[in-house]
Amino acid sequence: MNKDITRDGKANGSSQSVITTQDVNLWYGATHALLDITMEIKTNNVTALIGPSGCGKSTLIRVFDRMNDIIDGCRIEGKVYFRGKNIYDPDVDVIEIRKRIGMIFQKPNPFPMSVYDNVAYGPKVHGITARSHLDEIVEKSLRLAALWNEVEDRLDQSAIGLSGGQQQRLCIARALAVEPEVILMDEPTSALDPIATAKIEDLITDLRKQYTVVIVTHNMQQAARISDFTGFMYLGKLIEFGRTVQIFERPGQELTENYITGRFG
C-alpha cells in the first residue's frame, strides 16, 4: 500500500487535498448512480477516473463543480469539501465555485466568436474590462494552453475555424483565463486525433505544476501516462483508488485487475 493514499481514496500523507468527498450518494430519479463515494483529490496532481461506460465517473466529476444541479431529478447526499467548505451548503455561490473549478468537456465547445473573445469572455463576466489587462490574460492563458504560437496571428478570427485539437486547447485556455484552482476534464481527447491527443496530454502534464487536474478517460493508457492517482469505478462505486503506478502494475482488487487487463468492460 502506498504511503500517500489508501485504496479507498483517503489521503494519509502530507500533500494537501483540494477536494474531499464524504459518503457521496447521487440519484437520477430512482437510479442510484453514485454509492458512498469517499475520496480525496490532491493539490497539484493529476487524478484520473477510469471505469466502463455508465460506471458513474462523469457523474462524479460533475459533482465536483455542481454541474449535476442543472439535471432534473438529480439528488445528492453526502459532503463535497472544496478547500474545507462543503460546496453543497445552501450559502455557497455556485458561480464562484465554477470559476475556481473549471470544466473541459468531451467535445470542444468554443463560443461562436473570435479566438480572443473566447478567452476574454470569462474575465469580462467577472468584471475585468481594461483592454490591456484582457490582452495580458488572453496571451497568458493561450500560452499556458500551448496554443499561443498557433493563433497569435489570428486572434480576431472565428474560433470555429480552428482544428479540433486547437479548439480543445482554446477551451482549456478559456477555462484558465478565470484562474481556476482545479480543472475537471471529461474525456477531453476522445474526439481528437492522436497528434492532438498527444498535445493535450503534454499540456495536462505541464498544467499540474500550477493546477490540480481531474480527468475522466476511457483510455487506460492515457490515464497511466498522465496521472499521479487513479480511481477505478464500477456500477457507481469507487472500487479502488491509489497511485497510478500501483493501480496499473499491481492493483489491489480483482475487479480492477480484470478491468484493466480487458477481461470485461
Partner 1 sequence: MVEKFHLKLDDMKEEVLKMGFLAEEMLEKSIIALKDRNKELAEEVISKKGEIAALDFNIEKDVLHLVPLYQPMAKDMRTIACILKMITYLTRIGRYGKDIAKAVLELEQEPHISKLVSIPYMAEMVNSMIDDVLKAFETEDLSLIADFDERDDKVDALRYSIFRECISYMTENPRNITQCAHYIMVARYLERCADHACKIAEKVHYMVNGEHIEIG
| Residues 72-98 as b or e (16 or more Cβ within 10 Å = b) | eebebebebbbeeeebbeeeeeeeebb
Nearer Cβ to partner 1, position 166 or 197? 197
Nearer Cβ to partner 1, position 127 or 262? 262
Handedness of CA 127, 133, 135, 137 (dihedral sign): negative
Q: Does 220 bind partner 1 (CB under 8 A)?
A: yes
Q: Does 122 bind partner 1 (CB under 8 A)?
A: no
- Which residue, 73, 27, 84, 39, is CA-closest to 232? 39
- Interface of this chain with partner 1, residues 236 to 255, rule: CB under 8 A: 248-251
196: region left, alpha or beta (phi > 0 left; psi from -120 to 50 alpha)? alpha
Nearer Cβ to partner 1, position 211 or 248? 248
**Are 148 and 142 spatial neighbours (Cβ–Cβ below 8 Å)?**
yes
Q: Does 221 bind partner 1 (CB under 8 A)?
A: yes
**Are 184 and 102 spatial neighbours (Cβ–Cβ below 8 Å)?**
yes
Nearer Cβ to partner 1, position 1 or 125? 1
Q: Does 34 bind partner 1 (CB under 8 A)?
A: no
Nearer Cβ to partner 1, position 88 or 259? 259
What is the closest distance, in whole angstroms, from the C-beta atom of residue 261 to partner 1 in the complex? 5
Quick one: which of 171, 214, 224, 233 contacts partner 1 (CB under 8 A)? 224
Quick one: which of 15, 31, 109, 261 contacts partner 1 (CB under 8 A)? 261
* Alpha carbons 255 and 265: distance in angstroms, whole number: 11
Enumerate binding residues for partner 1 (CB under 8 A).
Answer: 220-221, 224, 248-251, 256-257, 260-263
